[in-house]
């Protein structure tokens, strides 16, 4: 009997720790007046609202986009920016090509600065036959001079102007993400659920299901947009927590 109790207590502690860790993975955009940050599902602010707009962490993502002063960056679930707020960025393999004030640089996917944002252009070596075998390197253009930059050692070597021959059209570059000129409210998609499906939302009005949070491919938390005069004013969780403050 004593062994049974110990096993039961151990199992209970495991479930508590598991559920606590699981809930900590979920952060919801939280609006305080005109600024956005993030809160956990209980409404406790985890990332201070200092941004003009904030996207969702979803599908087990640990980074997402935030915007401020018409600039964009990626923020981690711990609240750290992977690179300075910039005009745009591109995903290139395991790195980010960042453009800020018409200059370009490179950051790793962990947020390490690999190439300072001081070049007029950054390109993959795979664009040129003579440099296509140079792995984990990029070509930088600055003040009409070309440089071969090693992303591992940060060694910079001046080179002659490379021939304008693209060696490989099918590169791993992904689309450019730009900071929007005007950040507006989010329109809700066709609702999948009603507030009536969740007891803690009973009595609340002007709610439209607008987001489902997935972790490991499973839906774990449902978000409703709250509307007022055709404007989305903030989010409300399935547990009745309001993720906004006026």
Q: What is the mean pLDDT of residues 101-110?
A: 97
Phi/psi at 2 (nearest 5 deg)?
-65, -40
CB 128 within 8 A of CB 166: yes
pLDDT for residue 190 = 63
Q: What is the mean pLDDT of residues 187-199?
A: 80
Per-residue pLDDT for 191 more than 80?
no
The dihedral formed by the CA atoms of 126, 132, 133 and 139, expressed in degrees to the nearest 10: -70
Q: How does pLDDT run across 19-77, given as a tens digit for each residue?
A: 444 444 899 999 999 999 999 999 999 999 999 999 999 999 999 999 999 999 999 99
Q: How sure is the predictor about 153, in pLDDT bands with cuts at 50, 70 and 90? A: very high
Which letter does DSSP use for residue 131 in this model?
G
Q: How does pLDDT run across 197-236, given as a tens digit for each residue?
A: 999 998 899 999 999 999 989 999 999 999 988 899 999 9
DSSP string over 175-237: PPEE--SS--PPPP-S-SS-GGGSGGGTT--SEEEEEEEEETTEEEEEEEEEEETTEEEEEEE
What pTM value is reported for the model? 0.84
- Give the residue from 87, 152, 99, 153 showing the smallest Cα distance to 123: 99
Mean model confidence pLDDT for the chain: 86
Q: What is the mean pLDDT of residues 236-244?
A: 97
CA dihedral sign of residues 194, 195, 199, 205: negative
Q: What percent of the chain has pLDDT over 90?
A: 69
């Amino acid at each position: 009997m004593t062994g049974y109790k110990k096993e039961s207590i151990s199992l209970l502690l495991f479930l508590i720790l598991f559920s606590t860790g699981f809930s900590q993975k979920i952060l919801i955009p939280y609006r305080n007046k005109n600024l956005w940050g993030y809160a956990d599902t209980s409404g406790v602010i985890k990332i201070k609202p200092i941004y003009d707009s904030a996207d969702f962490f979803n599908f087990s993502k640990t980074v997402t986009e935030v915007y401020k002063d018409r600039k964009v960056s990626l923020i981690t679930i711990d609240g750290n920016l992977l690179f300075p707020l910039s005009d745009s960025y591109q995903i290139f393999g395991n790195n980010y090509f960042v453009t800020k004030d018409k200059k370009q640089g490179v950051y790793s996917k962990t947020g390490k600065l690999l190439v300072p944002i001081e070049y007029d252009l950054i390109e993959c070596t795979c664009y040129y036959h003579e440099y296509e075998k140079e792995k984990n390197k990029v070509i930088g253009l600055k003040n009409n001079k070309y440089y071969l930059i090693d992303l591992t050692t940060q060694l910079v070597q001046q080179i002659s102007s490379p021939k304008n021959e693209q060696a490989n059209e099918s590169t791993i570059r992904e689309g450019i993400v730009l900071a929007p000129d005007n950040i507006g409210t989010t329109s809700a998609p066709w609702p999948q659920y009603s507030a009536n499906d969740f007891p803690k939302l009973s009595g609340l009005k002007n709610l439209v299901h607008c987001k489902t949070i997935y972790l490991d491919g499973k839906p774990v938390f449902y978000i409703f947009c709250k509307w007022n005069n055709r404007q989305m004013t903030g989010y409300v969780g399935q547990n009745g927590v309001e993720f906004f403050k006026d």
